[in-house]
Amino acid sequence: MRRLLLYVIAVLAAVIVAMPVLLMLANSLKSGLEVQQGSFLSWPTEPSFAAWRQAWRLLAGSFGASLMLAVPAVLLSALLAAINGFVLCKYRFKGERWVGLLLVLAFFLPIKVYLLPLAISMARLGLDRSLGLLIAIHVIYSLPLALFFRNHFLSFPDELLHAARLDGANFWRLLWRIVLPLSRPIFVVVLILQFTTIWNEYLFGLVFGPDGARPITAALAQLAAQTETGARAYPLEMAAALLAAAPTLLVYLLAGRHFTRGLVAGAVKG
């Protein structure tokens, strides 16, 4: 009975979580007239992919811009966080505790706090809005991710690193040959978190993204203003939202088990 109750609760939780997605999918297959005259809870009488084709036509450029933004920003920020986390964990230097404290504070600061200083700095430096600037902002904003790697590297035996140093390994060889290959679980966690965060981020893309290649979330927010009629195009908006969410959903489906393993990696020693 206890196991049956757990199964019932799990199924109910899955239905509750999946219901909004199923409703969005059902309404994206309807026509605008059917949505206005019918109900959001009904399945389309004549399913059509017209809204999906229109959504892709409007968002294709922003979809590509988000990929060009997310891939290098995710890789660079994860690599830089791994290097900083390794230094903070295994090397001692003056002021290391203050650096760790500042990273913790920066990790919990909301993104809105950074907008005005970044905008002022960009104006004083004479920088225009561009994809490269947006990548640099995301990489800098992601520096507190070093804390994830630092906590993971605490489980690394110092004897292993000391033996590698005796064999003549310098800092970079230690990093590339020993540290990173043994850090794949936490690296996958950071990659998934970063991809989800950067892909779904809105404010940085709206303020600092170029007009011709804004990220998918900024384009999605402006989609209602691009409709030809004054009425809300609900099928178009639902299809566009599902298209925008598809990459992050795909990442979790393909790497979900690795994400779970990475979260508990290093939690138990021995």
- State the chain's mean pLDDT as an integer: 82
Nearest to 71 by CA among 148, 139, 141: 139
pTM exceeding 0.85: no
pLDDT of residue 229: 53
Q: What is the pLDDT of residues 208-249, one digit of tens each?
A: 888 777 788 888 887 766 555 556 778 888 898 899 888 988
pLDDT of residue 5: 92
State the average pLDDT over residues 175-188.
Answer: 83
